[in-house]
Amino acid sequence: LQQADVQLSSKVDASGKTKAIVFSTTATLDVLEVERLCEAVGWPERPREKIKRALENSFMVATLYEVDIDPDTGNRGDTSKGRLIGCARATSDHVFNATLWDIIVDPAYQGVGLGKALVTSMIRSLLARDVANVTLFADQDVIPFYRALGFIIDPEGIKGMFLYPS
Ligand SMILES: CC(C)(COP(=O)(O)OP(=O)(O)OC[C@H]1O[C@@H](n2cnc3c(N)ncnc32)[C@H](O)[C@@H]1OP(=O)(O)O)[C@@H](O)C(=O)NCCC(=O)NCCS
């Protein structure tokens, strides 16, 4: 099921160019751009090849791109020519459950509702594929962000449990 890109907003920047922000689940992600975002939010470096494979093996990779709007035609530029400003991915059994990972908004674009739009658009895309149970692991400091989107900590006493390599 191919889902159409969704334009979330548009604005005229300081140089007079019109830019739009687009949510997509079909854009081809450049792993270097993902690394740039991870670095920008201060996440520890991970092997590039592993990030690439994790993206390839994800059920859904959601992106936010800033793209140019052609001043003459009003047409939106392709995401491949845009700037990646946010991304997230979901692993899934393709039927019941999906888990969200690596949710990032470029710090220069944070605090204006894009993180919220990224997660809610992704949940809508998962529901469109009939995957309704959505889980995630939240760092302590972003719990309020997810709570505001309707996520519940430990529903009915269910605990996230972890087995790390010793
Ligand atoms: C978490 C993150 C994706 C939020 O993106 P964002 O675009 O800044 O979020 P939004 O502007 O959509 O914020 C939506 C709401 O959540 C709140 N919020 C955002 N980040 C928050 C945080 N860290 N703690 C508490 N509330 C937060 C906002 O105030 C806003 O509230 P409002 O709707 O009442 O105004 C972004 O801060 C980020 O990329 N952080 C670094 C990576 C990270 O920690 N990812 C999560 C890993 S579990």
Q: What is the pLDDT of residues 11-64, one digit of tens each?
A: 999 999 999 999 999 999 999 999 999 999 999 999 999 999 999 999 999 999
Burial of 52 (0-12, 13-18, 19+ CB in 10 A): middle
Cα(114) to centroid of ligand 1, in Å? 8
Pocket test for ligand 1, best of 142, 143, 146, 147 (most atoms within 8 A of CB): 142
Cα(137) to centroid of ligand 1, in Å? 14
pLDDT value of residue 1: 59
- Report the atom number in ligand 1 closest to the C-alpha of 118: 12
- Report the atom number in ligand 1 closest to the C-alpha of 112: 11
> Ligand 1 atom 36: the closest Cα is on which residue?
105
- Calculate ∠ Cα 140-161-54, nearest 5°: 80
- Calculate ∠ Cα 109-114-32, nearest 5°: 60
Q: Helix crossing, 48-56 with 31-40: angle to 10°?
A: 110
pLDDT value of residue 3: 82
pLDDT value of residue 166: 87
In this predicted model, what pLDDT tens digit does every residue of 55-101 receive, in sequence order? 999 999 999 999 999 989 999 999 999 999 999 999 999 999 999 99
Q: Which is it for strands 6-12 and 18-24: parallel, antiparallel or unpaired?
A: antiparallel
- Report the atom number in ligand 1 closest to the C-alpha of 109: 7
Active site residue 146: yes
Pocket test for ligand 1, best of 8, 38, 102, 116 (most atoms within 8 A of CB): 116
> 103 to each of 15, 65, 116, 146, how far by Cα in Å?
30, 14, 10, 11
Query: What lines the ligand 1 site, CB under 6 Å?
Result: 41, 103-105, 110-116, 138-139, 141-142, 144-145, 148
List, in order, residues 6 or more apart from 104 with CB less than 8 Å away: 37, 38, 40, 41, 43, 86, 87, 88
